[in-house]
Amino acid sequence: MTEAVEDCRRKFADLVKLNGISSKYIERDTERRILEDGVVRCGLTLEEARGVMRCVADDYDLVFESETDRRIRQVLDKHAGKKGKIGKKQFNQTASILRDFSNDSISEEEARRHIKRIMTDNGWQPKRAGLIPTKRWYRKIET
């Protein structure tokens, strides 16, 4: 590889590190912007940019929203079963799992909003819960 390509990769790796300084949790929009910078400014291919980004993420414990979304979607899919309904207990467990995946860089309330958005996007419904079974627990979560 030429020295120019290696220099571009180093600069791109530094750009990824800079974006991870403020928060270890990198949102989807930021991830996309970082990849665009790698392709446009540094002249890397999309796969090269992704590879560099993943290496830096592994080294500096950065977590990408797209990765956590994929994992959480798998967990929710398992919880939803054939009926496509998720109970309050399962919902709260999944919110805890999301916080673990993100290295506790997002709050409990933010995790709950995130889970609700994923449920809505995938058409999963909440199960009724409580003494008088209602979906209030789910409706109280602001999106």
Q: What is the pLDDT of residues 89-114, one digit of tens each?
A: 999 999 999 999 988 889 999 999 99
Task: Give per-residue burial for 44-74: e unless 16+ CB within 10 Å, then b.
Answer: beeebbbebbeebbeeeebbbbebbbeebee
Longest dimension (CA), the chain: 69
Residues 6+ apart with CB under 8 A from 82: none
Q: What is the pLDDT of residues 38-63, one digit of tens each?
A: 999 888 899 999 999 999 999 998 99
Segments making up each domain of the chain, as ranges = 3-61, 65-139
Q: Are 58 and 13 in contact (CB under 8 A)?
A: no
Structure tokens at 108: 């409990």
